[in-house]
């Protein structure tokens, strides 16, 4: 077994889900991983990771819209508003989605379902540079 690692940055452009499947797959391919486990970690408290529908862009739009409805800005009970109305909502949305993902690799491919993609979920209104940690336990 071999341990492989990389860190990559994604430039976000305000709130929304950005596909990162390709960024992950290209690294696993470069490493020649046939079998093993892929670990992803996002080092931010106002952005997160999620796996979601990757085919129809309206599916993603609805997921994004849900978080706007379910975790609205400008609630009277928010105390943490120093960085703007997206401050607390961004942290709350991050706790509702994933900071870490673990995805099997089989036959040289991530075991994603037909409709699944990996996304960086930006919860901030402004653009940010986000760091994602990729680790791979290469079995073959």
Q: Which of 10, 18, 21, 91 binds a second copy (CB under 8 A)?
A: 91
Q: Which of 13, 45, 126, 127 binds a second copy (CB under 8 A)?
A: 45
Which two tokens mark 51? 């796996």
Q: Which of 79, 86, 123, 125 binds a second copy (CB under 8 A)?
A: 79
Nearer to a second copy, 30 or 139 (CB): 139
Q: Say which residue the tokens 């706790």 belong to.
A: 95
Q: Say which residue the tokens 């960024």 belong to.
A: 23
Helices marked H in 1-140? 21-30, 57-70, 87-96
107 binds a second copy, rule: CB under 8 A: no
Nearer to a second copy, 15 or 44 (CB): 44
In angstroms, the Cα distances linking 116 to 20, 21, 51, 110, 121 are: 11, 9, 6, 10, 15
Q: How far is the CB of 137 from a second copy (least distance, A)?
A: 7
Q: Say which residue the tokens 């607390």 belong to.
A: 88
Chain mean position to CA 31: 21
The binding site for a second copy (CB under 8 A) comprises: 1, 3, 5, 35-37, 39, 41-46, 50-54, 56, 58-59, 61-63, 65-66, 69-71, 75, 77-80, 82, 87-88, 91-92, 94-104, 106, 111-113, 115-116, 131, 133, 135, 137, 139
């Amino acid at each position: 077994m071999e341990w492989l690692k990389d860190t990559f940055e994604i430039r976000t452009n305000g709130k929304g889900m950005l596909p990162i499947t390709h960024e992950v797959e290209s690294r696993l391919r470069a490493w020649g991983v046939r079998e093993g486990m892929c670990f992803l970690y996002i080092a931010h408290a106002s952005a997160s990771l999620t796996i979601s529908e990757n085919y129809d862009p309206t599916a993603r739009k609805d997921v994004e819209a849900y978080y706007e409805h379910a975790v609205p800005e400008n609630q009277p009970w928010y105390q943490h508003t120093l960085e703007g109305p997206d401050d607390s909502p961004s942290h709350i949305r991050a706790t509702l989605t994933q900071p870490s993902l673990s995805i099997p690799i089989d036959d040289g491919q991530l075991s994603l379902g037909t409709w699944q993609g990996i996304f960086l979920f930006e919860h901030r209104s402004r653009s940010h540079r986000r760091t994602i940690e990729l680790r791979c336990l290469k079995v073959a």
